[in-house]
Amino acid sequence: MNRRTFIKGAIALTATAYISPTIVFGAENFKWWQKKPVYQIYPKSFLDTMGKGTGDLRGITQKLDYIKSLGVSAIWLTPIYVSPMVDNGYDIADYTAIDPRFGNMEDFDNLIAEAKARDIKIVMDLVFNHTSDKHPWFLESKSSRDNPKADWYIWRDEKTNWRGIFGGSAWQWCEERQQYYLHTFATQQPDLNWENPDVRRALYDAANFWLDKGVGGFRIDAIVYIKKPKIFADGTPDAPDGSCAVHNMTANTDGILDFLHELKREVFDGHDIFTVGEANSVKPEDLPLWVGERGVFDMLFEFSHVNVMFNNGDEVWHRSHPIKLSEFKKALSDSQAATKNSWYPIYFENHDKPRSVNNFFPHGSDKILAAKALAIILFTLRGTPFIYQGEELGFTNTQFDSIDDYDDISSHGAYDLARADGLSDKEAMRFVQKFSRDNARTPMQWDSSKNAGFTTGKAWLPVHDDFKTCNVEVEEKNPNSVLNFYRKLSALRNSSDVLISGRYEELYPKNEELYIFTRSLGGKKFMTVVNFTTHKVNLPDKILNGAKKILGNYADAKNYLRATEAAIYEF
Ligand code: GLC
């Protein structure tokens, strides 16, 4: 199919296929994935049933009742495909087979069936910007300049000054071909050439394979990088001074939406699924082109609120600055405004980000109060809440002393870059400890036994040392635990038309201590108030007039907010 035909097709389809949620009164007309939260699992760290130190699919199946207790509609699994695991599965060597470390296809089919019996769908991660360098496609592509897959990847005779997202050059020399290949991420993750229709076809076939298995949708990885027009159109451009990141040169470039409309038409359309794209650097004002009536995905993980400590999409950890509350709130409010006619995935954590309690609350905040405060925001903004494993228990960052103790490939790149920029080991480690993705990847804590019940073997990453007090077993028994708070919030949100679909409005956006917003629908109104400081803060005059507190991280109600206090009021 030529390009013009698929664009025309896409326009025809998008005009009829999507009914804007905001024009529907009440939540009963919403889709299943809008009515309940989604739970994200990092399988390697969830539950090991075989004593090998890494989690597996059977472990997930075993814990489905636990997951169901959070009131979710779906589980998003980060990649479980065959992979050398250089980037823990985001380097795929076979798109349609399960990595033996996670189990086999029977385990997967069983997981889908058992989840379905509990009214939960399984959502897969599509990693379509790149493959592993061990993928047969790449092995063939690199073998010569004239094999059938010779242009399935991005090969050039010269390289640019682009720095890869995990550090080092974004180009790798290949002896066999006597050429460089582009890798946006690790050297072992060569970027696919989306300009080649055979590449696109092969990727769509892989996605359709999982749809045939009955999956409930897709999270689409690193999708903003698939179009690299500048390399082809302008020769070999170097990045401007001071910013030599591949991200700044290739993210979200013109023409990308043509590819994505084709993906939508060839894979997503006609299925009762949801899709959520990972899209660092799509600006809130551009969201309507990506989601909703004119868009291609149901939701988009844009990074504006989680990257508010970085100056642009190029996340250099040691160039981060302290978060200003008003900027964080603005990012959320802008995204809420930009998706008021479509839908938003609400998230504060995932497998790439530090734990939210450390990330968004000042040092010295009570961790349990902070976890509950963020949960209140997570469940009262408009959109689908995404809960990342452990977040519902109030997990916090881990801390290893030496860079050698970190598994996360991006931590090593970030450390090297910081050292190259003149930071001492100690200074560089401070940023690694703060931002490492391993913070989010320590094993799930099930009970107070050895390895927190995660494995009977040697855990691949050390269990957090708070596991005796912060684990599922202990929190189940405590009515005031973070876990039980999540359950209450989920039940409240899932049964409230106002919280599912009501209009969002932020109050006092310039206030640097409090986050206050309302949700309203048909004369009913909720208000969320959160104190982001470690001291008492007065609420604006009369704001609570006529309001009744329905849930908060302190039991009683005052007309001011105590340290890290958060509450939901109803009018
Ligand atoms: C996404 C994933 C991340 C991975 C990267 C490369 O950002 O979330 O974990 O390392 O893409 O695939």
Would you name the residues annotated as active-site residues? 221, 278
Q: What is the DSSP string of 17-47?
A: H---GGGS-SGGGS-HHHHS-EEEE-GGGT-
Give 440's DSSP letter: G
Ligand 1 contact, 298 CB (< 6 A): no
- The separation between CA 347 and the C-alpha centre of its own chain, rounded to angstroms, equals 7
Ligand 1 contact, 408 CB (< 6 A): no
Q: Which pLDDT score is estimated for 12?
A: 33
Ligand 1 contact, 127 CB (< 6 A): yes
Q: What would the two tokens of residue 502 be?
A: 């009501």
- Rounded to whole angstroms, the Cα distance separating 152 from 141 reads 7
Q: Find the helix packing angle between 425-435 and 409-420, rounded to 10°.
A: 150
Ligand 1 contact, 87 CB (< 6 A): yes
Question: For tokens 């592509």, what's the residue?
Answer: 141
Give the start-to-end residue ranges of the domains of the chain: 31-132+197-500, 504-570
Where does residue 270 fall: left (phi above 0), alpha (psi -120 to 50 degrees), or beta otherwise? left
Read off the pLDDT of residues 163-187 as tens digits, 9 standing for 90 and up: 899 989 999 999 999 999 999 999 9
Taking CA atoms only, the protein residue closest to ligand 1 atom 2 is 221
Read off the pLDDT of residues 77-106 as tens digits, 9 standing for 90 and up: 999 999 999 999 999 999 999 999 999 999
| pLDDT > 70: percent of the chain | 92
Distance 185 CA to ligand 1 centre (A): 8
Looking from the CA of residue 437, the nearest atom of ligand 1 is: 9
Ligand 1 contact, 388 CB (< 6 A): no
Distance 236 CA to ligand 1 centre (A): 26
- Rounded to whole angstroms, the Cα distance separating 563 from 571 reads 24
Q: Which of 564, 530, 523, 548 is nearest to 380 (CA)?
A: 530
Q: Which pLDDT score is estimated for 128?
A: 98
- Rounded to whole angstroms, the Cα distance separating 396 from 356 reads 8
Looking from the CA of residue 87, the nearest atom of ligand 1 is: 10
Distance 417 CA to ligand 1 centre (A): 19
Give 486's DSSP letter: H
Give the mean pLDDT of 48-68.
Answer: 98
Q: Which of 78, 131, 352 to mutate to test the pocket of ligand 1 (most atoms within 8 A of CB)?
A: 352
Q: pTM here?
A: 0.94
Give the mean pLDDT of 318-329.
Answer: 96
Taking CA atoms only, the protein residue closest to ligand 1 atom 7 is 222
Read off the pLDDT of residues 214-269 as tens digits, 9 standing for 90 and up: 999 999 999 999 998 656 455 556 666 555 688 888 899 899 999 999 999 999 99
Q: What angle do CA 141, 142, 143 make, to 5 degrees?
A: 95
Q: Which of 187, 150, 149 is nearest to 165 (CA)?
A: 187
Read off the pLDDT of residues 464-492 as tens digits, 9 standing for 90 and up: 999 999 999 999 999 999 999 999 999 99
Ligand 1 contact, 185 CB (< 6 A): yes
Strands 524-531 and 94-98 come out as unpaired
Q: Which of 40, 132, 192, 221 to mutate to test the pocket of ligand 1 (most atoms within 8 A of CB)?
A: 221
Distance 221 CA to ligand 1 centre (A): 6
Which CATH architecture does the domain made up of 504-570 adopt? Sandwich (2.60)
Q: Which CATH number does the domain 31-132+197-500 belong to among 3.20.20.80, 3.40.630.30, 3.30.1280.10, 3.40.50.620? A: 3.20.20.80
Q: Which of 41, 81, 87, 187 to mutate to test the pocket of ligand 1 (most atoms within 8 A of CB)?
A: 87
